[in-house]
Structure 1
Amino acid sequence: MNYQEIPKDEALQTAYWAYKPSDQTIALKSEQNRLIFAENFNTTRVLPLNTLCLIFLAQNYQTHPINLPSKISAIQLRTFYDFIDENIPIEKCININDEYFWKRLYSAKCTDKMLIKKRGQQKDVSWKNLSITLKYIELIENTPYEVWITEEMEEITKNSSPYVTELIIKQLQAKRDSSFKKQTEGSRSSVSEKSSSTLTDEETKDSDSKSNNIREDFPLEDCHHVDLSILGSLCNLTSLNIAFAPPKLDRNYHDRFFNFSYVDIQNLARGISELKNLRVFKLRGSRMDSIKFSTILEALQTIFVEELEFFFCQLDDNCGEALYKYLLSTKTLNHLDLTGNYFKDKTIDYLSDGLKRSYSKLTHLFLSNNPIADESLCKLTKTLEAYAHLKILKLSGIKCDNLGASGIVRLVRQNTPLVQLDIIAIRMNGDDLIAALNRNLKIQQIICQGCGLTLEEEFNVEILLKRNRFIKENPYIGDITKTKEDDFNAFINRIKDPIYIKTLEDKEIHKECSRKKYLTDIETLNEKEERKEKQQQLHEVSKYASTESDLKHQIYIKALEKDYVGEKE
C-alpha cells in the first residue's frame, strides 16, 4: 500500500510550493497528454503488517464476520471498526458494540446534518439504537416487492426489536410492471382469440391498444406493497409514522403507485395490533377510504394510543361511525389530527357525539382543511364548550358563514381551558371576537390571519392575548388566596427587570468563586508552613545525628525523611 505525498524536508517543500504548476497551466491543451508529473513526489510508506491484516479483515467482515481476540489493543480495535463498510447488512453488524462505529454509520446514513449535530451535543445518546433504526427503515423502504421474503424479514425484525423504538417510513415499494406480465399476456391471448373469430380489423386494433395499456387500469386489489405484518415483532416500538407513497418516480410516474390494496392495510393492522407499547400512530399522505379506516381503528382499540393522526389521507364522510366506535373504546387518546380530509356533516356529528361520551381526555384536536358545514361546526363548538380538557384547536381553512363563526366566538367567550386557537381564513366579526376575548383570561394565542379583521382589530386582539400571557406568568394578580411570604417574594423577583435579575445571579456566582479561591489559598499557605516546619525539624535533628552511634536520632531522621518525601509525592 503506497501513498503519494510531499516529503517532510523543508527545502524540498519550499521548492515544491514555489515551482509547482498552477491549475491554469495544467488545464492547458499542451498539458493534456502528459504521462510524467515531476512535481508529484512519490515516497513509499508501507503500513505495519498487523494494520494491513486488520484492514483486510474489516473490508471482508460482511462475508466473513470474525470475533477479534481479547488481547487486541485499543488502537487496533479502532482501526478495525473504522474500515468496516457503512452499507453492511443489518444482520451482519447487529452484534457490534462499538459506539464509534455506530456514530460513524449514523453520520453517513442520516441526511439531516443539523440533527446529527444536535444528537452529538446530547448526553447518553445510544448511537447503536439510532443507527439500527435507520438501517431498518432503509431496508423496509428500498426492498422491492418481488424479492420480499416475509420469513427472513421477520427474523431481522426480531433481532432489531431491542434497538428500535421509533419508525418513520416515508415510502414503500409497490409491485413492478414485470409482476403483471402474466396478467397482461393472458389478456392479450384472449383478445387475439376473440379477434381472430368474431372481431373486425378495427376492433382488433382497439383491443390490442387496450391490452398494451393495461398497466393503466390496475384495480385497487392488485396494487400490493411489502408485507408490514412483521412490525408486530418490534416489541419496544412506541411511535410509528408511515406513508404509502412511492419513491421518486420522475418519468416513471403512474397513478397506481399511490394506491394500496386492502391486503396491505390488513397486514399493517395485524402488525400494529401486537404493538402493546405503541403510543403514537401517524398515517400521512395515503389514499384511504372508510373500509381501511375502520380496519386500522379496530386494530388500535386494544392498544393504549395517545396520539392518532390521519394527515391528508383523503378520508370521506363515511368514516364517522368507525371514529365514533373508536372514541368510545379508547381511554388514553389525547391528540387527534384529522387535517386535510373530506369530512362533512355526518362525520363531524359522530365526532361531537363521541366526544360527549368518550372517557379519553382529548387535549389536541386538528380539523383544518375539511369541508365542514355551518351547522356541524356550530354543533361541534357547542360540544367543546362543555369539554373540560381541550387546549389546542385548529380549524383553519374551513369555509363557513355567520353561524359557524358565531359558534367559534361563543367558544372563546365561555372561558374554556382552551389555550391556542387556529382560525386562519375563516371570516370573523372583529367586534364580536374582541368582546369574547375580553372576557376570556386563559387563551394565549389566536392565529387569525385572513379572517377579515382590520389592522386595529388585529392589534386589539394581540393586546388582549398579551394580557392573558402576563396573567399566566404572574398568577398573584387578582388572586387573594396566596399569602405565603416565600411565594410572594418569588412573585416580586419574577416581575423585576430580567437584566437586573441576571446581574444579581452573576454577582452571586462571582462571590462564590471568590470564597472558594480564598479557602484554597488558605489551605495552600497552611501546607507550606507545615512543610517548612518539618524541614526545620529535619535540619535540627541532623545536627545531633552526625555520628553513627546515636541510633535514636538516626531512626528519627529516617522517619521524618519518609514523612516528608510522602507528602511531597
Structure 2
Amino acid sequence: MDLEDNDNGLPVGLPTFGIPNDPLLRAVYDLYRPPEDSFRQMQSERNRDTFSEAFIEHERVGTLADLCVRALAKRGTMHIVDPVRLNPLWMRIHYDSIDVNLPLRECYFVEDARFWKRVVLAKSSEQCLSLKGLDDYDWRGKGMSIKYVELVEACPASLWPEKEMSELAELIRDYVRCMDIRHLQSLSEFSFRRLERHSSDTEPEVSSEVSDGIEVSSDELSTPKSRSDEGEEEQEQETEPLKKTFVRDNTLIAFKVSAEFADSDESTSDMERREARRDRNAARQKLRELKMAQEAEHEQRKQRRVNLLKREPEPPPKRRRRPKPVRGVFDITVEPEPDDGEDQILDHRNKTKYLQYLKQFDYDEDTCHHIDLSFVGHFVNLVSLNLEFLGPGEGTSYHKRHLRFSLKDMVHLSKGLAKLVNLQIFRLRNSHLNAFKLYPLCRVLRALPQLHVVDLGYDQMTDDCGPYLGILLDRQIMLKALELEYNQLDMKSVAAIGVALQKTTDSNLQYLGLAHNRLSSGALEHLCERITGTEHVEELNLSAIGLSFPRVFVEEVCRLLRNHKPLRRLEMVATPLGADLRRELICALETNPNIIYFDGRACNFEEDEEFEADMIVRRNLAMTENTYVRDTAQFPDTLELLEHAKSLRHPLVTRIEESVAQQKECFKNYPTWKSSRVSVEDVPVIEKEESDYDIWTVFALQTQQNSFLVQNSTEKAATVQEPASQKISQSSSPRSSVFSFDPNNFTLEQFREHVYQPGPGNRYNYFVEKRDSKF
C-alpha cells in the first residue's frame, strides 16, 4: 500500500468548510456578493445576528458547531444548553464569545476568570493589569465592581433607583473587595438658576395681575372709638393687613364719638393711639404711591413693547425696471437668502456674555446634591473605597457644581461607611471639605476597627478642620497612613494631630503627609516637638510647605533627624535652601543611621552635596541589611568584626554553592540502572579523499564493509552461544541479531518484517526510489 503525505497538516476526520477554488467561480462570487449593509436593510434580514457570508474563506473560521456556540453565547448566559455545558471545549468557546458590555445582572454568576479579565482590561484605565496572570488578581471581584460603578455613575442625581440597585448589590456583595467612584452625576444647570436674571436687550413682560395684586386698605378715621372696639379693630388689621376695611359713614361716627367724649379730656393712651393710627395711614399712603408707580411703569412697558412690535409700513412697490443685459458673472442678479426669523427673536442673548456669567456663578454647596451614597453599606466585604467628585467627565471643568457636594451627601456616605467593618483603605480626594462635612465623616471613620489608610488629599480643607482630624486619630488602633497633601492646614490642625499622637495606642502611625500645606513656623515647631519622643511617624512628607523662614525649617528638621529615632524616610521637595543651611542639614543627616530614604529635589543642592547625601543613605541601607555591624554584644572589638566580615560571602555566590551541593547530593542518591548489552556495534567509517567525490561509490564501499563486519560478528557470536540459546528464534529476541541494511537487496518482505522499528514511516519508498534512480 502507498502512504501519501498529508500536506495540509489537518488531522484525519476533521470537518472542514470551504468553497471551490476555481478562479472562474471565485470571480463570479466576488461579482455578485452583496454588501454587508444590505442584509440589515432588507425586511426579511433586519433581525439577523449571524452572517455566514462573512466566514467564507476566512482563516479563523471554525466548525459549524463552534459557530453555533458563539451565536448562542450572544443570546445570553443565563441558560446554557446541556451539550455545550458538558463539553469543556465548547464551554471555553462560550466564555470567550460573551460580550464584555453585557449587563451585570446577566453575567454576575459567571465564574470564568478569563471573561472577567477581558472585562477589567477593556474598562479599566490601569495598564499594568495586563501583566498579571489569571491567578495573580481578583478579576471577578474587580469586574463586578467596575460594572456596578458604571451604573452608579450613569444614574442622574435627581433619580436613584434604590430598590433595583440594592437588589443588585446583594447579588454581588460577597465578591466585591474594592470600589472606585470618580464621576458622579451632578444636578442639572437649570436647578441652579438665580431667581433674578440679568437684564437683557428686551424687558420682561409683566402682566396686569401682578400689578393689581397689591390691595391697600382705606385710612383709619381720627375719631376715637371705644377701647374694646379699637383693640379688636387693631388686632384684625394686624392679622389681615391686606384685607379691605369696611367703609363707614364718617359723619355719623364722628357725631357719636363727639357726643360720648365731649366732657372728657384726652388721655395719654389716646395720644399714643392717634400717633399709631397716623403712622399706619402714612404707610398706606406710601403703598398707594408705590402701586401707582408700578401701574405707570407697567403702562410704559406695554407701550414700549407695542412700539417694538410695530412694523414699519411697507413702501409702495417700485416700478419694475427692465433688467440689464448679462455681460459677465458679476452682472447676474442673486436673490437674498430667505428670512429665518432670527431678527424677530426678542430674547437673542449674547452667548459669550452668557458663558461668562455661567463661569462666574457661585453655586451654593448646600444645593449641590448627588445620589444617595449610603448604598456602599451593602458591600460588607469592601476593603478599599475611593471616592472623588469630578463630575460626569464631559470636559466642562469650569462648572463648579461638578466639584462640590452637600452636607447631605456626607451624612448619607457616613451612614453607609458605618456598616463597612472590613474597610482598610478610604480615599476622598478632589473634593470641597469643610468642618461641617468632615465632622460626621471623622466620627464614623474613627469607629472602623480595621481602617489603616485615610487619604484626604486635594480636598481644600482649611485650618478649621483641625479638631476633627484629632477626632479621627483618637483611636486605640492607630492608622498606618494619614495623607493630607494639597490642603490649607495650619496651627490648629497640627496641634490636634500632635495631641492625638501623644496618646498611647496599640499601633503606630507610619506615614504622615503634609505636603503643599502652607504651614507657619509655629506650626512646624509644634509638630516636631509633639512627634519627637514618640513611636509614631516613620515617614514624613514636608514637601513645598512654603515657609517664609527657611532657617526655622532647617532647624526643626535637623532636630527631628537627631532626636526622632523611628524616622526612616524624609521628603522635603521644593524647599529652596542656602549653602549654610544645606551643610547643616547634611551634618544632621549623617548623624542619623536609620534614614533609608531622603528626597531633597529642588532644594538647590549641588552635585557634591547630592552625592554625599546619597552615600549617607547607602551607608544606612548597608547597615540595615547587615545587622551584625551594630551588634556590639557579639563583636565588642573591631578586629573580630572585620574577621567576621571576611568570612561572609556574597548572597548570590552562597545560593549558587547551595544549589550545586543539592545537585551533588541528588546524584549520590540517584538509582543505578542495569547496563544492557550493546545491540549494534560501532562501525568505523573509512573516509577516502578523492578529487572527484562520488556519493554512490562511497555508499557502496560502506555497504560492503558493513556486511563484512556483520558476518564476522555473527561467527563470533555463534561460537560463544550455548546450544540452548541457539534455539531461540530471531523474531522472539530482536536484540539477539543485528539488522543489516542493504538498499540494493531490500525486498518487501524485509520491509514488512522490520516496519515497526524506529525510523521514518516512508523509508521503504524512499530507498526504493534511490535504488531505482541509481540504475
* Fold-level similarity (TM above 0.5): yes
Which of 422, 439, 444 does residue 299 from structure 1 map onto? 444
One of 137, 154, 159 as aligned partner of 1:142? 154
Number of the residue aligned with 2:102:
88
Q: Equivalent residue for 1:469?
A: 621
Question: 1:562 corresponds to which residue?
Answer: none
- Mapped partners of 1:41, 1:384: distance in 2: 71
Q: CA deviation at 1:129?
A: 2.0
1:456 is matched with which residue: 570, 586, 608?
608
Residue matched to 2:140: 128
- Alignment-derived partner of residue 262 in structure 1: 407
Unaligned runs of 5+ in 2: 1-16, 31-53, 199-203, 212-293, 306-345, 678-722, 729-775
**Which one of the candidate residues 636, 652, 663 is aligned to 1:502?**
652
How far residue 94 of structure 1 moved from its aligned partner, in angstroms, is 0.9
Could you tell me which runs of 5 or more consecutive residues in structure 1 were left unpaired when the two chains were aligned: 21-39, 530-538, 545-569
Change (3 A) 1:239 1:194: farther
Per the alignment, residue 367 of structure 1 pairs with 514
Q: Which of 154, 157, 169 pairs up with 2:166?
A: 154
State the distance in 1 between where 2:172 and 2:445 align: 23
Q: 1:186-265 to 2 correspondence within 5 Å?
A: 193=206, 197=211, 198=294, 216-250=361-395, 253-265=398-410
User: Superposition RMSD on alpha carbons, in Å?
Assistant: 4.5
Q: Pick closer, same or farther for the CA change 1:252–1:344 going to 2, 3 Å.
A: closer
1:413-428 aligned at under 5 Å gives the runs 413-428=562-577
Is 1:409 matched with 2:554?
no
Match of 2:70 among 31, 55, 63: 55
Displacement of 1:424 after TM fit? 1.8
Shift of 1:348: 1.4
Give the helix-richer structure, 1 or 2: 1
Larger radius of gyration: 2
1:393 partner SS: strand
Report the secondary structure of 2:454's partner residue. Answer: strand
Are residues 127 and 404 of structure 1, via their aligned partners in 2, closer, same or farther at CA, if it must alter by over 3 Å? closer
Q: CA deviation at 1:159?
A: 1.3
Query: Mean Cα displacement is larger for which, 104-113 or 209-218?
Result: 209-218
For the Cα contact (< 8 Å) 2:509–2:536, is it kept in 1? yes
Q: Normalization by structure 2: what TM-score?
A: 0.56
Write the distance in 2 (CA, Å) between the matches of 1:158 and 1:233. 7
Q: Distance in 2 between matches of 1:192 and 1:333?
A: 62
Distance 1:362 1:246, change over 3 A: same
Pairwise CA distance, 1:308:
1.0
Q: TM-score, normalised by structure 1?
A: 0.75
Counterparts of 1:41 and 1:230 in 2: how far apart (Å)? Answer: 47
- 8 Å Cα contact 2:426/2:453 also seen in 1: yes
Offset, 1:351: 1.7
Cα distance change, pair 91–192 in 1 and its aligned pair in 2 (3 A): farther
**Does residue 1:322 correspond to 2:465, yes or no?**
no
Given that residues 424 and 449 in structure 1 are in contact (C-alpha distance below 8 angstroms), is that contact kept between their aligned partners in structure 2?
Answer: yes
Matching residue of 2:248: none
- Conservation of the 8 A alpha-carbon contact between 1:415 and 1:439: no
Residue type matched to 1:384 in 2? Answer: I
Match of 2:483 in 1: 337
CA distance in 1: counterparts of 2:559 and 2:390, whole angstroms:
41
Aligned pair count reads 496
Q: CA contact under 8 A between 2:573 and 2:599: conserved in structure 1?
A: yes
Q: Shift of residue 415 of structure 1?
A: 4.6
SS of the residue corresponding to residue 438 of structure 2 reads: helix
2:110 maps to amino acid: I
Deviations along 1:30-51, one digit per CA (max 9) or x if unpaired, are xxxxxxxxxx996599976654
1:491 deviates by: 7.0
- Does the residue aligned with 1:399 lie in a helix, a strand or coil? coil
CA distance in 2, matches of 1:49, 1:483: 78
CA distance in 2, matches of 1:491, 1:104: 55
Code of the aligned partner of 2:503: R
In 2 relative to 1, CA 282–52 (structure 1 residues): closer, same or farther, beyond 3 Å? same
Question: Would you say 1:285 and 2:430 are equivalent positions?
Answer: yes
What displacement does 1:256 show?
Answer: 1.3
**Which residue identity lines up with residue 231 of structure 1 in the other structure?**
V
**Pairwise CA distance, 1:493:** 8.3
> What's the offset of the Cα at 1:543?
6.9
8 Å contact from structure 2 (residues 533, 564) kept in 1 = no
Percent of counterpart pairs with the same letter? Answer: 26
Task: String of CA shifts for 1:324-372, please: whole Å, max 9, x gaps.
Answer: 2222235231211111100112221222222212625111111011111
> Which aligned pairs between 1:104-115 and structure 2 lie closer than 5 A?
104-115=118-129
Secondary structure of the 2:463 match is coil
SS where residue 167 of structure 2 aligns? Answer: helix
